[in-house]
Amino acid sequence: MMERLQKIIAQAGITSRRKAEDLIEQGKVKVNGRVVTERGTKVSSKDDIDVNGIRIEREEPVYYLLYKPRAVISSVRDEKNRKVVTDFIPTDKRIFPIGRLDYDTSGIILLTNDGDFAHLLMHPKFEIEKKYIAKVKGLIQREAVQLLKNGVQLKDGKTAPAKVRLVSQEKRRNSSVVEITIHEGRNRQIKRMFEAVGHPVQKLRRDQFAFLNCATMRPGDFRQLNPKEIKQLVALATTKQK
């Protein structure tokens, strides 16, 4: 079976398909020892491919859903020897997380060895929705909820409109539980949004990524995505792109 060179590079987890196209045009990719600069080049499973002088190991693409516990790093390694998301999935494939969740944030995170797939789901322009449950300090009022819905001004610009629903309030503990859905992925975005309206986050969990959820899972549980789910995610991102 012949496939486009940039797709093979992306599936190896080296970079996204778009960046792979740039590497090809820059003459940094070799096929069977010869430099290839045409991005539409097709290769077979028998061809040897080198990127920046390094032979890529071809793997079958895999796709996992993990319920990340708190106190876990969204990375493949940590210099401080803290637990990372890949520690939970026993595989010899070179998987990596799609995006990240903060160290103290729990919830759904996807892992793969398919760089092209990861790019589709991470890029803000594809508007993949992520739903969070936030326990925040204070009894949040309607005005603050409306600000979050409309978008709040942060140091790196105003956030896009969000879907926000007040779940509960506990007067004795002076706290509120809020469901919030966004499609952006800025650093610490949810926490910064709530800080901007005067309600710092005390606890945060990502409950849903697109149509995927971890409702029947416990922290540390994982499963592979099925082919239908993978196709649906790709279709969702592709539709948003148009």
Each residue of 80-100: b (16+ CB within 10 Å) or e? eeeebbbebbeeebebbbbeb
Q: Catalytic amino acids?
A: 102
